[in-house]
Structure 1
Amino acid sequence: MTIRPDYLADAKRLGITVSEAAERGLRDAIREAEAARWLEENGDAVAAANDWVEANGLPLADHRLF
Structure 2
Amino acid sequence: MHASEATKSIRKPTNLSLDSELLKEAKLLGINVSRSAEAGIAEAVKLYKQKKWLQDNASALESSNAYVEANGLPLARHRHF
Q: State the TM-score, normalizing by the size of structure 1.
A: 0.92
Which 4+ stretches in 1 moved above 2 angstroms?
Answer: none
> 48, 62, 70: which one pairs with 1:55?
70
Distance 2:19 2:58 in 1: 37
The residue aligned with 2:56 is 41
CA drift at 1:45? 0.6
Which position in structure 2 is the counterpart of 1:64? 79
Unmatched segments (≥5 aa) in structure 2: 1-15
Q: How high is the sequence identity, in percent, across the aligned residues?
A: 44
Please tell me whether residue 22 in structure 1 is matched to residue 37 in structure 2.
yes
- What corresponds to 2:21 in structure 1? 6
Give the residue type in structure 2 aligned to 1:41. D
Q: Specify the code of the residue in structure 2 equivalent to 1:45.
A: A
Name which structure has the greater RCO, CA cutoff 8 Å, separation 6+. Answer: 1
Q: Deviations over 1:21-56 (max 9, x none)?
A: 001001000001111111111111101101111111
Q: Which runs of 5+ in 1 are unaligned?
A: none
**RMSD, matched Cα:** 0.8
